[in-house]
Amino acid sequence: MKYYILEPEVAGGIGKNTLLDRSVHPPVPIKFNYEFLGWLGDSLLETVASFIVTTSLKEKIEAIEATGIAFGEVEITKAGEFEDFHPNKELPEFVWLQVKGVAGQNDFGLSSKHRLVVSQRALDVLRQEQLSHCEIADFFNP
């Protein structure tokens, strides 16, 4: 099966209510708060090797019984500049996409450089939603 490295849209960052496990590198959220600074509309977003997806994309991922992931709650907040530039912008519901798989083996995994790696079948599902600002490249499994 073919695999791909994804570099999703970064629409914000780790919010002040995030609790991090700093015993690993990069630090991993224990409780995740994604704070939006802007948003170009993609259904898969990233910040520091942590990912969120819309609930509609989550349902599609679950439908194929994708391996290497779990889902969790994410607190969504909007930074002041988001409110300033997009005062009436409604965000869809998001969930935390917790990547637990091995790159090049599971449908979702992290490379040794902490980049998201997905299988062809996972990418096919992701492309059913908006993924316009995500860079996609072939993954060569060593």
Task: Quote the CA–CA distance of 95 and 74 in Å, as a whole number.
Answer: 5
Q: Tokens for 72?
A: 């969790």
Whole-structure pTM value: 0.94
Whether 46 and 8 have beta carbons less than 8 Å apart is answered as yes
Q: pLDDT tens-digit profile of 31-53?
A: 999 999 999 999 999 998 899 99
Rounded distance between C-alpha atoms, residue 37 and residue 77, angstroms: 9
Q: Give pLDDT tens digits for 52-71.
A: 999 999 999 999 999 999 99
